[in-house]
Copies of this chain bind each other. A is one copy, B any other.
Amino acid sequence: MSNKITVLDKGYVRLIEPMGSDLSVVNAARVSFDKESGRIDDRDKRLIQFLAREGHTSPFRHAFASFEIYAPLMVARQWFKYIVGSDHAMDGWNESSRRYITEEPTFYVPGKEEWRSAPENSKQGSGKPVDPLIGNMLMNEMENHIRKGEALYNFAIEQGICAEQARLFLPAYSLYVRWRWTASLQSICHFLNERLASDAQNEITQYAKGVYELVEPHFPESVKALVKQHE
């Protein structure tokens, strides 16, 4: 199995390294009893389910994983807010910045069949896809608008303007950024529960699915116990 999953038109999630396993959870929970499991058995599985059900989440903070993510800034911001807004503070985060001139800017453009309508009964989220003819028109408009913004950005740079101001011309929500995220199993599963939910923005849900696929094989019992089923 690859440790890298492609998401959206140009993005990805990559698992850099996991630490620990379901046994890390079990052995942390049993520290009062000075017993250490070397292989997970049915009693261990029931313990994990018990911990998850009763909200005894601290043992899930002895397993970690580190990721690299490449996603539109719009997605990075939602991910971010979940971390700052929640109190799941066990997260390392380092992100690329457009205050530097480094890589060429790259942008997310929804394909003609990927534009979604406003939802009927909600102030946020989205409904069904719109007619691909409309989608096609918007896709073309967006590509033109991005091209114009890039041209203005490059013009400003040529005029000697600092990158940190020139970037104001870029359509930042769709700009790809790259970051590393290191988080406990508890924090990762909390993120999955929030971002796999049906009212999350479709784009971030696609990243959450990538995280799920990469994480689940390393911590199958914990993920089963902590992450609600979504369909």
List chain A positions with a Cβ less than 8 A from chain B: 16-20, 24, 27-29, 31-34, 57-59, 61-62, 64, 66, 68, 73-74, 77, 80-81, 83-103, 108, 110, 115-119, 123-127, 130, 134, 138, 141-142, 145, 148-149, 152, 155-157, 159-165, 167-174, 178-180, 182, 184, 186-187, 201
Contacts and interface: CB of A to CB of B under 8 A. Distances in A.
A124 B96 contact: no
A31 to B, nearest CB: 5
The quantity of this chain's copies bound in the complex is: 4
Contact of A34 (B59, B103, B160, B174): B103
B165 A110 contact: yes
A160 B124 CA distance: 13
Contacts of A164: 124-126, 201
A92 B58 contact: yes
B99 A57 contact: no
Contacts of A110: 165, 168
A31 B94 contact: yes
Contacts of A99: 124-125, 201
